[in-house]
Structure 1
Amino acid sequence: MTPTETGSSALHADAVTTLDRWHPADPEQELLRRDYLAHLAEQPEGLFRSCLPAHVTASAAVVDPAAGRVLLTLHPKVGRWLQMGGHCEPGDRDLASAALREATEESGIPDLVLLAADGLPVPARLDRHQVRCTGKDQPENTHLDVQYIAVAPPGAQALISEESLDLRWFDYDRLPELTDHSVRDLVARARKLTG
């Protein structure tokens, strides 16, 4: 087994363990959790972009609870304000580190901390959505997104990356019009969990 295959197996095992031990209170989220686990049971490479028509992704809502705000990126391909996130990479050791890597890269904020329970980062929610990540002239595929909450240090300054058209902080109660229900649900969840 090559190092990449070993890393891929470890990431896959972590995703299964993470979803196995996560117990959402919402029945809809529970159905998604079971669907994600079924996908992973059928797809050993189910966390990578090459797995079509669906693959697991990792994202994080970057929040500054003291200021009551969330950082969103204007995604160039989607044309909407979204949380930070994207595809897992072979070097990612677990879903949480994939989400944290994406959040750090896209926000430019060091020292983000994922919300945890019993010392382990835990998902906040799941979202299944259609995208064209293989190209706009290609068929849509499905992202099985595992969403985390990343807490920024108070007063953190964001730095836009090349992966974004714009990057801004928004008050929890004043999200931009170009957000979908998934982002709004994630921000509401973040607000509840960070008090």
Structure 2
Amino acid sequence: MSTPEPHVDSPPSPALHTDALTVLRGWTPTSVAAAAARDRTLDLLAAGPEAMSRTHRAGHVTASALVFDATGSRVLLCLHGKFRKWVQLGGHCEPADSTLAAAALREATEESGMTGLRIDPVPIDVDIHAVNCQGGSFHHDVRFAVLAPPGARPQVSEESEELGWFPPEQLPTPLAGGTTQLITPALAALRRAPLHPAP
């Protein structure tokens, strides 16, 4: 779900690993499934900073963002070029990322082509799913709510065939598993507090 990744061989950031532990240990899960995924992700993080790297075969932590327009009435999804499903923006963490929220915001900015995005640093979901990284692995995906500025116009990235705004009650098909479950906690995040600007 991301643009080309030039840092495959770079070591993972210890600061990012520390942030992931802190965020997930202090997080109140938004569902029973999210609680189970959070606990499994904390077990994965016991491996150390390597658990943040896509080269970690047992699985690795990723970050994604459900982006709403400035009115909070539409969500931005991309038609992923590889697996041909609509999905929220996101992808692998990079060595320069210091927090999970920063990783999610970077991915959302890169994939949408929009600047001025704001993020709630409290996750809205954690989901674990099988992927074809390094011949087969699992993404432990930590998801966040993001708000676009007024008038923002998304631009298609290299890994998405299409971007589109959709009302939460009229999401497109085929839709990636786990995307629908983000709507309710994301809307709650938008109501809870002003979102943070990009660093």
**TM-score, length of structure 1 as denominator length:** 0.87
Question: Equivalent residue for 1:126?
Answer: 126
Match 2:29 to one of 24, 27, 35:
24
The amino acid across from 1:153 in the alignment is P
Stretches (4+) displaced over 3 A: none
Q: Distance in 2 between matches of 1:173 and 1:25?
A: 19
Q: Secondary structure at the match of 2:127?
A: strand
Of residues 25-34 and 153-162 in structure 1, the stretch that sits farther from structure 2 once superposed is 25-34
Q: Which moves more between the two structures, 142-151 or 39-48? A: 39-48
The residue number in structure 1 matching 2:103 is: 98
- 1:10-58 Cα deviation digits (max 9, x unpaired): 1111110111111114232222111111100124310111111311000
Taking only the aligned residue pairs, the percentage that are identical comes to: 45
Distance 1:158-1:68 versus aligned 2 partners, 3 A rule: same
The equivalent position to 1:150 in structure 2, one of 122, 146, 166, is 146
**What are the equivalent positions in structure 2 for 1:31-46 lying under 5 Å apart?**
31-46=36-51
Q: Which moved more, 1:173-182 or 1:123-132?
A: 173-182
Q: Please say if 1:175 is aligned against 2:148.
A: no
Deviation of the 1:163 alpha carbon: 1.9
Q: What is the TM-score when the length of structure 2 is the normalising length? A: 0.85
Query: Aligned residue pairs: how many?
Result: 182
Distance 1:80 1:25, change over 3 A: closer
The alignment yields a C-alpha RMSD, in angstroms, of 1.7
Structure 2, gaps ≥5 residues long = 1-9, 192-199
Q: Deviations over 1:31-90 (max 9, x none)?
A: 211111110012431011111131100000111151510010111112101111000011
Report the Cα distance in structure 1 between the residues aligned to 2:82 and 2:176, rounded to whole angstroms.
15
Q: Contact 1:172–1:191 (CA<8 Å) still a contact in 2?
A: no
Residues 89-135 of structure 1: CA deviation (Å, up to 9, x unaligned): 111111110000000000111011002xxxxx11110111111133x
- Whichever residue aligns with residue 92 of structure 1, its letter is D
Q: Return the alpha-carbon distance in structure 1 between the equivalents of residues 40 and 61 of structure 2.
A: 11
Distance 1:26 1:70 in 2: 21
C-alpha separation in 1, matches of 2:42 and 2:72: 36
Counterpart-to-counterpart distance in 2, 1:155 and 1:75: 24
Letter of the structure 2 residue corresponding to residue 36 of structure 1: T
Helix, strand or coil: the match of 2:60? strand
Separation in 2, partners of 1:67, 1:114:
13
